[in-house]
Amino acid sequence: MGIKPQDSMKEKETLWIFGYGSLVWKPGFAYKRSKVGHITGYKRRFWHGDEFHRGDKIKPGRVATLVQDPEACTWGVAYEVSSSEIEGSLQYLHTREVLLGGYIITKLQFFPKEKDQEPLLALVYIATSDNPMYLGPASDTDIANQITTCRGSSGHNIEYLVRLAEFMRLCCPEVEDEHLFSIEATVLGIIKLCDQLPTCLDFSQPAPN
């Protein structure tokens, strides 16, 4: 009962993992290749609270999750993890996404951007509305105000937002993500206003006549 040559030639099972939030710019695990593309039936919303990475228990940050919407699709990155890295990657993501982030795992069909490439099944981490850290819908202004004032162990909540928006501009320039870009524009407006605050509130100068 020897090993048949084709056994050693058999392509070992790989695993695809789809990211649509911080995973698009900070996967944190080893992968052999990645593809930009989208999943269908879900929209990306900043409706999930984060008390660790981008916020704390007093001021939870707001991060991305997926919300079911049959008309919608969400763009991100799918990463192919080789068989030897699967266990380590899933352990890492279990801590980062599930234990610290409150996400659960599901599997969705991923459609690569390149038209000549076949769809593939990918693991996806989603925070559903029954999750204790779920914050749910809010106006873009309220979400922007919250993001502007939160930071956690991984950094400021603004970084999370802007890096995701940068990814979309760079890799999916043809995609209009109104929710993401509206919140980003509002945050940048708040920052600009704050930058101007010191001058207009500078009491060292005599009051205008």
Ligand X SMILES: N[C@@H](CCC(=O)N[C@@H](CS)C(=O)NCC(=O)O)C(=O)O
Question: Least distance from C-beta 107 to ligand X, angstroms?
Answer: 13
Which residue in the set 15, 16, 86, 101 belongs to the binding site for ligand X (CB under 6 A)?
101
Marked catalytic residue, from 85, 87, 97, 159: 97
Beta strands in 23-146 (DSSP E): 33-50, 61-81, 104-112, 120-126
Size of site (CB under 6 A) for ligand X = 18
Q: Is 97 an annotated catalytic residue?
A: yes
Tell which one of 20, 31, 46, 110 touches ligand X (CB under 6 A): 20
Q: Looking at beta carbons only, is 45 or 53 nearer to ligand X? A: 53
- Residue 26 as a binder of ligand X (CB under 6 A): the answer is yes
β pairing state of 61-81 and 33-50: antiparallel
Question: What contacts 106, CB < 8 A, 6 or more positions away?
Answer: 123, 124, 126
Q: Give the residue from 194, 29, 192 showing the smallest Cα distance to 123.
A: 29
d(CA 146, CA 167) in angstroms, rounded, equals 22
Question: Which residues sit at the interface with ligand X, rule CB under 6 A?
Answer: 19-23, 26, 50, 53-54, 63-64, 96-97, 101, 103, 125, 154, 160
Catalytic site positions? 97
